[in-house]
Chain A
């Protein structure tokens, strides 16, 4: 099925560990972005990309890295996990900023 696929769905990390949240889309969308959802905070933009090789910071980029080597994939890397990064992470893609499609999310717990 066409859409945005996020893996893993759940993850528990120890403080200081690193990991990569994967995001892939098969709709040939140029625009991709990462959001985190926290209670009482809504969804906040972490990083975004308007095409392969182009990334930029969103509202809450600290502690996260991204790269975009292909149109399809937009991984989010946590280099040294902290408890403050416990959250639900959503990846989204869109056609030039219209018609956003979200993945089903990755629930991350940092202990």
Chain B
């Protein structure tokens, strides 16, 4: 049972345009969401996060939106740059669960390619 889903395995956008990566979740207890970026042969690196008490969080070119009623979040990258080409993982956790702060549930990832 995939509790965090990223239905688009890949996305291709032109440099300078907006990249929108989507993520859906089924567990209504999740209350904290994170996005990770992963280059080949490297570990995931933290990009941006959002608490369930917010609907938007922004950090430079990266903005995450959360729609709790739809159990959906999205990552917007504006403008997209070639260096953004990587696999992006959405992750969620239930902070209130005993030990839950240490349990990240990941989506399957979206391969973003930013073309010149």
A25 CB to closest chain B CB, in angstroms? Answer: 12
User: Chain B, 94-116, contact with A by CB distance < 8 Å: what is the 0/1 string?
Assistant: 01000111111111110000000
A99-110 contact mask (Cβ, 8 Å, vs B): 1 or 0: 111111100000
Query: B35: shortest Cβ distance to chain A, in Å?
Result: 12
Task: Flag A68-111 by CB within 8 Å of B: 1 or 0 each.
Answer: 00000000000000000000001010101111111111000000
Other-chain contact of A56, B44, B95, B99, B101 (Cβ < 8 Å):
B99
Shortest A108–chain B CB gap in Å is 14
User: How many residues of A are in contact with the other chain, CB < 8 A?
Assistant: 29
Of listed B41, B44, B91, residue having the most chain A CB within 10 A: B44
- Most chain B CB within 10 A, of A44, A90, A97, A98, is at A97
Contact indicator A31/B101 (Cβ below 8 Å): yes
A45 touches B109 (CB 8 A): no
